[in-house]
Structure 1
Amino acid sequence: MPAIVGIVQVNSVSSSGVFHIGDVYRVSPISSAKTFSGAGSFNTGEQLYVYNRRSNTNTYDSDQFDQNITGNV
């Protein structure tokens, strides 16, 4: 059944994001990312107190391929 959509305002869509309205057959974004961060780095809020006496982030990655996206088209 087709979708009937009114006014839509899109402020931004990231380079690897997907935006669709209504019926869709296939949504397949193609991107990959690897993020390294230390303890307490993604915390958000007001009056936040994070105490990390000793913190280190292990960025060693022994495998060669993590997210293969070559066949996803």
Structure 2
Amino acid sequence: MLRMRPRCMGCAQPLAGDSPAFICSYECTWCPRCAGGFAGVCPNCAGELVRRPRRTTGAAAIVSRVPDRIRRFVRRTGGPA
């Protein structure tokens, strides 16, 4: 699962799950202002910077859409449900 970092690695600006941000393949996270100066390349790892997907749904809403058979399996295996 993608780790949604809460702050820009450059300026430490808070980044909510639904706010625009940029990430690379190592999940270095940058606000649009900082990423604008990098020409699409992460300064930490030289990976490609792309728009971070927005997380608009909370975990409770996702679980409510999971079929019952999957919830039973997760409970049986000891995972969160």
Q: Which has the larger radius of gyration?
A: 1
Using structure 2 for the length normalisation, give the TM-score.
0.23
Q: Point out the structure with the larger strand share.
A: 2
